[in-house]
Amino acid sequence: MPSASVIIPAHNEARVIGRLLSRLLAEASKDEFDVVVVANGCDDDTASVARGFGVRVVETPVPSKREALRLGDEAATAHPRVYVDADIEMGTADLRALRDSLLDGTAEAPNGDTDGGSDDVQGVAAPSRGTAPKALAAAPERALVLSDRPWPVRAYYAVWSRLPAVREGLFGRGVIAVSEEGNRRLMDLPPVMGDDLAASLAFEPAERRVVRHAHAVIHPPRTLGDLLRRRVRAVTVVAEIQQGPMSGQEARTGLRDLLAIAGRAPWLVPHLGVFLAVTLVARARARRAVRAKDYTTWLRDESSRT
């Protein structure tokens, strides 16, 4: 039996799926991992590129990440299960670290990262449900590719990555691994656009781990416009969760958090201006979708896939 199943939902990811699979499988032994790529609603060569790496491919005409995750879960054969976004990069050693953190329950306590982040929703914390002696869910540290991004994008992430909930949550990392028990909990979640945020909320701090020696390479937007598109989607995700059965489980970032960041790193004061501006514009642009309860339109960032 494989030691873990890896499920990769992929919608028109022919440009980047090979980048992920080549690193993910570079040092893997034969049949060490059960890798399932779910090509959903694709009109490009995602499926054929994935097959070229010898992994299993499931195809569906439905362009839905939620449906792709369900189909991948049905096809998977092993636990733990690792759900990976097609547009990130992660190596074999990182995958093994996540797997092992759930097999032995010895992963590090939640710590977040110090200098990285990715597209997600800031200021959301998990609900309290008591404690658990063993990790049910784990995620890697973020490694942001920012060197060639414009200054406003770098400034935004310099602040965002330091928010307490961002450092501690499992969302926005492009990867979440779950044990068999954790997988059952994920399958019971309501269908929402922000699946990684919902997954993070499903586990209390004692049940989740950020594995320090595992890293996911995140490719942020290359333009300020694409960053705003991502943030509009993030605001919409938060609104959907607030209005659904998981409402009341969020804790937004407040002024005190931002002042604390400025106090620890005064050089970030100009960056805080960019962060606040992007946040306010994204909230304003998201109002129409929230009023219409449009929680299906996916504002995709194509710039990070070039």
Is the confidence at residue 181, as pLDDT, over 90? yes
Q: What is the DSSP string of 113-168?
A: -SS---SS-SS--PPP----SS-SEEEEEEEE--TTS-HHHHHHHHHHTTSHHHHH
- The CATH number for 64's domain is 3.90.550.10
What are the backbone dihedrals phi and psi of residue 209, each rounded to the nearest 5 degrees, phi first? Answer: -140, 140
Please give the torsion angle defined by the CA atoms of residues 164, 256, 218 and 9, in that order, rounded to the nearest 10 degrees.
Answer: 70
Give the tens place of pLDDT for each residue, 130-174. 444 579 999 999 999 999 999 999 999 999 999 988 888 899 999
Is the confidence at residue 204, as pLDDT, over 90? no
DSSP code of 249? -
Q: What is the pLDDT of residue 194?
A: 62
Is the confidence at residue 269, as pLDDT, over 90? yes
Q: Quick one: 214 and 190 in the same domain?
A: yes
Which of 57, 87, 117 finishes a domain? 87
Is there a domain that residue 305 lies in? no
Q: What is the rounded average pLDDT for all residues in the chain?
A: 85
> In degrees, to the nearest 5, what angle opens at C-alpha 186 toward C-alphas 61 and 37?
35
Q: What is the pLDDT of residue 301?
A: 83
Which of 27, 53, 87 finishes a domain? 87
Q: Quick one: 172 and 76 in the same domain?
A: no
Q: Quick one: 42 and 107 in the same domain?
A: no
Q: Which domain holds residue 24?
A: 1-87
Give the tens place of pLDDT for each residue, 6-39. 999 999 999 999 999 999 999 999 999 999 999 9
Which of 28, 60, 87 finishes a domain? 87
Say how many domains are in the chain.
2
Q: Quick one: 142 and 216 in the same domain?
A: yes
Distance from C-alpha of 279 to C-alpha of 166, rounded to nearest angstrom = 15
